[in-house]
Protein backbone atom coordinates (compact mmCIF):
# COMPACT_ATOMS: atom_id res chain seq x y z
CA UNK A 1 0.00 0.00 0.00
CA UNK A 2 2.61 2.51 -1.10
CA UNK A 3 4.60 2.04 2.12
CA UNK A 4 1.82 3.40 4.29
CA UNK A 5 1.75 3.18 8.09
CA UNK A 6 -0.42 0.15 8.81
CA UNK A 7 -1.47 1.60 12.15
CA UNK A 8 -2.94 4.69 10.51
CA UNK A 9 -4.60 2.52 7.87
CA UNK A 10 -6.19 0.30 10.50
CA UNK A 11 -7.48 3.33 12.36
CA UNK A 12 -8.85 4.84 9.16
CA UNK A 13 -10.58 1.58 8.26
CA UNK A 14 -12.14 1.36 11.71
CA UNK A 15 -13.35 4.95 11.45
CA UNK A 16 -14.68 4.29 7.94
CA UNK A 17 -16.83 1.42 9.23
CA UNK A 18 -18.39 3.91 11.62
CA UNK A 19 -18.82 6.94 9.37
CA UNK A 20 -19.60 5.28 6.02
CA UNK A 21 -22.75 3.25 5.27
CA UNK A 22 -23.76 2.29 1.71
CA UNK A 23 -21.71 5.24 0.44
CA UNK A 24 -23.48 7.63 2.80
CA UNK A 25 -21.02 9.50 5.00
CA UNK A 26 -21.44 11.15 8.37
CA UNK A 27 -21.33 14.96 8.56
CA UNK A 28 -21.88 16.96 11.72
CA UNK A 29 -22.40 20.40 10.22
CA UNK A 30 -22.93 22.43 7.05
CA UNK A 31 -22.02 26.09 7.41
CA UNK A 32 -20.66 29.25 5.93
CA UNK A 33 -17.09 29.97 7.06
CA UNK A 34 -15.10 33.18 6.85
CA UNK A 35 -12.00 31.49 5.43
CA UNK A 36 -10.96 31.95 1.79
CA UNK A 37 -13.19 35.03 1.63
CA UNK A 38 -16.34 33.13 2.75
CA UNK A 39 -16.83 29.53 1.77
CA UNK A 40 -19.59 26.90 2.02
CA UNK A 41 -18.34 24.11 4.27
CA UNK A 42 -19.29 20.53 5.02
CA UNK A 43 -17.70 19.25 8.23
CA UNK A 44 -17.18 15.48 8.30
CA UNK A 45 -17.18 13.14 11.29
CA UNK A 46 -14.15 11.03 12.17
CA UNK A 47 -10.38 11.15 11.76
CA UNK A 48 -7.44 8.75 11.91
CA UNK A 49 -5.35 11.19 13.95
CA UNK A 50 -5.89 12.43 17.50
CA UNK A 51 -4.39 15.91 17.43
CA UNK A 52 -4.08 17.43 20.88
CA UNK A 53 -5.20 20.83 19.55
CA UNK A 54 -8.20 19.51 17.60
CA UNK A 55 -11.30 21.68 17.97
CA UNK A 56 -14.07 19.35 16.76
CA UNK A 57 -14.34 17.32 19.97
CA UNK A 58 -17.09 14.70 19.95
CA UNK A 59 -17.18 14.41 16.15
CA UNK A 60 -13.65 13.00 16.29
CA UNK A 61 -13.61 11.39 19.73
CA UNK A 62 -16.95 9.58 19.43
CA UNK A 63 -17.91 9.15 15.75
CA UNK A 64 -20.49 6.47 16.58
CA UNK A 65 -22.64 9.02 18.37
CA UNK A 66 -21.92 12.05 16.21
CA UNK A 67 -23.41 13.48 13.04
CA UNK A 68 -25.85 12.15 10.46
CA UNK A 69 -25.42 10.11 7.29
CA UNK A 70 -25.70 11.92 3.96
CA UNK A 71 -25.48 10.53 0.44
CA UNK A 72 -23.11 12.19 -2.04
CA UNK A 73 -26.20 13.55 -3.84
CA UNK A 74 -27.52 15.16 -0.65
CA UNK A 75 -24.16 16.68 0.24
CA UNK A 76 -23.79 18.09 -3.27
CA UNK A 77 -27.32 19.47 -3.12
CA UNK A 78 -26.69 21.15 0.23
CA UNK A 79 -23.37 22.71 -0.74
CA UNK A 80 -24.52 23.84 -4.18
CA UNK A 81 -27.65 25.39 -2.67
CA UNK A 82 -25.53 27.20 -0.07
CA UNK A 83 -23.23 28.50 -2.78
CA UNK A 84 -26.15 29.88 -4.77
CA UNK A 85 -27.70 31.59 -1.75
CA UNK A 86 -24.38 33.09 -0.68
CA UNK A 87 -23.29 34.00 -4.20
CA UNK A 88 -19.95 32.19 -3.99
CA UNK A 89 -18.41 29.50 -6.15
CA UNK A 90 -16.26 28.06 -3.39
CA UNK A 91 -17.02 25.05 -1.19
CA UNK A 92 -14.92 23.14 1.31
CA UNK A 93 -14.74 19.78 3.08
CA UNK A 94 -13.24 20.07 6.54
CA UNK A 95 -13.81 19.12 10.19
CA UNK A 96 -12.58 15.53 10.53
CA UNK A 97 -10.70 13.70 7.76
CA UNK A 98 -12.66 13.89 4.47
CA UNK A 99 -10.40 11.42 2.62
CA UNK A 100 -11.81 8.65 4.83
CA UNK A 101 -14.57 7.14 2.70
CA UNK A 102 -12.90 7.45 -0.70
CA UNK A 103 -15.92 6.16 -2.63
CA UNK A 104 -18.16 8.82 -1.08
CA UNK A 105 -15.68 11.61 -1.78
CA UNK A 106 -15.14 10.63 -5.41
CA UNK A 107 -18.89 10.27 -5.98
CA UNK A 108 -19.40 13.74 -4.49
CA UNK A 109 -16.73 15.23 -6.76
CA UNK A 110 -18.50 13.74 -9.77
CA UNK A 111 -21.64 15.67 -8.83
CA UNK A 112 -20.10 19.12 -8.45
CA UNK A 113 -20.37 21.56 -11.37
CA UNK A 114 -17.04 22.42 -12.94
CA UNK A 115 -17.47 26.11 -12.12
CA UNK A 116 -17.52 25.42 -8.38
CA UNK A 117 -14.12 25.13 -6.69
CA UNK A 118 -13.70 22.57 -3.91
CA UNK A 119 -11.03 22.94 -1.24
CA UNK A 120 -10.27 19.60 0.36
CA UNK A 121 -8.72 20.07 3.81
CA UNK A 122 -6.89 16.90 4.77
CA UNK A 123 -4.04 15.54 6.87
CA UNK A 124 -2.94 13.71 3.72
CA UNK A 125 -1.94 10.45 5.40
CA UNK A 126 -4.25 8.37 3.18
CA UNK A 127 -3.34 9.97 -0.15
CA UNK A 128 -1.23 7.36 -1.90
CA UNK A 129 -0.39 7.46 -5.63
CA UNK A 130 -3.69 5.87 -6.66
CA UNK A 131 -5.75 8.29 -4.56
CA UNK A 132 -3.85 11.26 -5.96
CA UNK A 133 -4.42 10.01 -9.51
CA UNK A 134 -8.15 9.72 -8.84
CA UNK A 135 -8.29 13.27 -7.48
CA UNK A 136 -6.42 14.54 -10.54
CA UNK A 137 -9.45 13.76 -12.71
CA UNK A 138 -11.22 16.77 -11.23
CA UNK A 139 -9.92 20.12 -12.40
CA UNK A 140 -11.91 22.11 -9.83
CA UNK A 141 -10.25 20.66 -6.71
CA UNK A 142 -7.54 22.20 -4.53
CA UNK A 143 -6.02 20.20 -1.69
CA UNK A 144 -4.79 21.81 1.53
CA UNK A 145 -2.56 19.38 3.42
CA UNK A 146 -2.46 20.27 7.12
CA UNK A 147 1.00 19.29 8.33
CA UNK A 148 1.22 18.14 11.92
CA UNK A 149 4.62 19.45 12.84
CA UNK A 150 7.96 19.90 11.12
CA UNK A 151 9.50 16.57 12.15
CA UNK A 152 8.40 12.98 12.83
CA UNK A 153 8.89 13.61 16.56
CA UNK A 154 6.66 16.67 16.50
CA UNK A 155 4.05 14.81 14.44
CA UNK A 156 3.95 12.11 17.11
CA UNK A 157 3.68 14.64 19.92
CA UNK A 158 0.88 16.61 18.30
CA UNK A 159 -1.18 13.74 16.86
CA UNK A 160 -0.64 10.93 19.42
CA UNK A 161 0.17 8.69 16.46
CA UNK A 162 3.42 7.20 15.15
CA UNK A 163 5.98 9.60 13.74
CA UNK A 164 5.90 7.67 10.45
CA UNK A 165 2.81 9.73 9.67
CA UNK A 166 5.05 12.73 9.01
CA UNK A 167 6.54 10.92 6.02
CA UNK A 168 3.06 9.98 4.80
CA UNK A 169 2.24 13.69 4.73
CA UNK A 170 5.38 14.42 2.71
CA UNK A 171 4.51 11.55 0.36
CA UNK A 172 0.98 12.90 -0.06
CA UNK A 173 2.37 16.24 -1.21
CA UNK A 174 4.71 14.47 -3.61
CA UNK A 175 1.92 12.25 -4.95
CA UNK A 176 -0.40 15.21 -5.49
CA UNK A 177 2.30 17.25 -7.23
CA UNK A 178 3.21 14.32 -9.48
CA UNK A 179 -0.47 13.80 -10.34
CA UNK A 180 -0.88 17.46 -11.26
CA UNK A 181 -3.33 18.25 -8.45
CA UNK A 182 -3.44 21.82 -7.15
CA UNK A 183 -2.09 21.66 -3.59
CA UNK A 184 -0.46 23.64 -0.81
CA UNK A 185 0.76 22.70 2.69
CA UNK A 186 -0.25 24.40 5.93
CA UNK A 187 1.23 24.19 9.41
CA UNK A 188 -0.17 25.42 12.71
CA UNK A 189 1.87 28.04 14.52
CA UNK A 190 2.49 25.75 17.50
CA UNK A 191 5.54 24.61 15.56
CA UNK A 192 8.71 26.40 16.77
CA UNK A 193 10.21 28.81 14.26
CA UNK A 194 13.49 26.94 14.59
CA UNK A 195 11.93 23.89 12.93
CA UNK A 196 10.41 25.70 9.98
CA UNK A 197 13.66 26.20 8.06
CA UNK A 198 14.28 22.45 7.82
CA UNK A 199 10.65 21.87 6.91
CA UNK A 200 10.77 24.35 4.05
CA UNK A 201 13.91 22.61 2.81
CA UNK A 202 12.05 19.29 2.77
CA UNK A 203 9.14 20.90 0.94
CA UNK A 204 11.45 22.53 -1.60
CA UNK A 205 13.03 19.13 -2.29
CA UNK A 206 9.59 17.97 -3.42
CA UNK A 207 8.67 21.15 -5.28
CA UNK A 208 9.78 24.74 -4.72
CA UNK A 209 6.22 26.05 -4.86
CA UNK A 210 5.32 24.00 -1.78
CA UNK A 211 7.95 25.83 0.25
CA UNK A 212 6.89 29.20 -1.10
CA UNK A 213 3.21 28.44 -0.57
CA UNK A 214 3.48 27.12 3.00
CA UNK A 215 0.52 28.51 4.97
CA UNK A 216 0.95 29.41 8.63
CA UNK A 217 -2.27 28.57 10.43
CA UNK A 218 -3.02 30.56 13.58
CA UNK A 219 -3.81 28.44 16.63
CA UNK A 220 -7.07 29.57 18.23
CA UNK A 221 -7.16 28.37 21.85
CA UNK A 222 -10.27 27.40 23.76
CA UNK A 223 -10.52 26.22 27.39
CA UNK A 224 -11.36 22.65 26.33
CA UNK A 225 -8.45 22.46 23.87
CA UNK A 226 -5.99 24.04 26.33
CA UNK A 227 -7.01 21.47 28.94
CA UNK A 228 -6.51 18.62 26.48
CA UNK A 229 -3.06 19.93 25.55
CA UNK A 230 -2.04 20.18 29.20
CA UNK A 231 -3.17 16.59 29.71
CA UNK A 232 -0.62 15.54 27.10
CA UNK A 233 2.19 17.69 28.47
CA UNK A 234 1.90 20.62 26.07
CA UNK A 235 1.67 23.91 27.96
CA UNK A 236 0.29 26.88 26.04
CA UNK A 237 1.47 29.57 25.69
Supply the pLDDT for residue 191.
85
Helix (H) or strand (E) holding 171: helix 164-179
Supply the pLDDT for residue 121.
98
Provide the CB-side half-sphere exposure for 80 (13 A, CA): 14
Residue 46 to residue 50: CA distance in whole angstroms: 10
Q: Do 155 and 161 touch, CB atoms closer than 8 A?
A: yes
Which residues are within 8 A (CB) of 21 and not within 5 positions of it... i.e. 6 or more apart?
69
Supply the pLDDT for residue 236.
77
- 8-state DSSP, 107: H
- 8-state DSSP, 2: T
Low-confidence ranges of the chain (pLDDT < 70): 1-6
For the stretch 111-145, pLDDT in tens is: 999 999 999 999 999 999 999 999 999 999 999 99
Nearest to 44, CA basis, from 107, 110, 106, 121? 121
Domains of the chain: 6-231 (3.20.20.70)
**Parallel, antiparallel, or unpaired: how do β-strands 141-147 and 117-122 relate?**
parallel
Residue 121 to residue 93: CA distance in whole angstroms: 6
Amino acid sequence: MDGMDLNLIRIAKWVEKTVLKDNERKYFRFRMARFYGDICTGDVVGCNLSCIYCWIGKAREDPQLSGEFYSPDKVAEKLIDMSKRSDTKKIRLSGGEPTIGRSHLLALLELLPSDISLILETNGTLIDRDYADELSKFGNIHVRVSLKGATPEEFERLTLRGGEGFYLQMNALRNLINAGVSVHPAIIDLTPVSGLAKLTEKLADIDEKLAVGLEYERFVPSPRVIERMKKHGFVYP
